[in-house]
Amino acid sequence: MFRGANSINLDAKGRIAIPARYRDRLSEICTGHMVVTKNPYELDTPNLLLFPLHNWEDFEKQVRSLPNSRPAYRLFKRVTIGSAKEVDMDANGRLLIPAELREFAGLGKSIMLVGQAETFQIWDEASWKAQEEDDLAALADEDFDHGQLPDLAF
């Protein structure tokens, strides 16, 4: 399970160092084989999705099953599968983020690796901070539908 937002650096070669707390789990579940792609759910605030390979394969199977007769599904396939790149964690726990994906997400030197349970999001740090502020404001909005959120049981 991958949780939390982690501030990390993108080196001059376009690599990120996966935080040590995730490395053993990633080595165990996917031997460091991962897939990075554009996040089609938030194209107005470009960021990337990073999947352990087996999670990507499950996701890709679902995407491939969408009927090509629907333009929105073709677009979704084009964005996700069409931009997907396999990446491997090296012996030092680093991943090379392909240049075209770094450019798409506007990644600078400071980035955020955000755990999303079974996957990660990769954001430029300034974009992440702005998005986080927007997200918190939306959650505080009285018109936000809180009815489907889980109850806290203490």
For the stretch 105-123, pLDDT in tens is: 999 999 999 999 999 999 9
Is the pLDDT reported for residue 97 higher than 80?
A: yes
CA distance 111 to 107: 7
End-to-end CA distance of the chain: 22
Task: Return the DSSP state at 109.
Answer: S
User: Under 8 Å CB-to-CB from 53, ≥6 apart: which residues?
Assistant: 30, 33, 34, 35, 86
CATH code: domain 5-140 is 3.40.1550.20
Task: Return the DSSP state at 96.
Answer: E
> For the whole model, what pTM was predicted?
0.92
For the stretch 10-41, pLDDT in tens is: 999 999 999 999 999 999 999 999 999 999 99
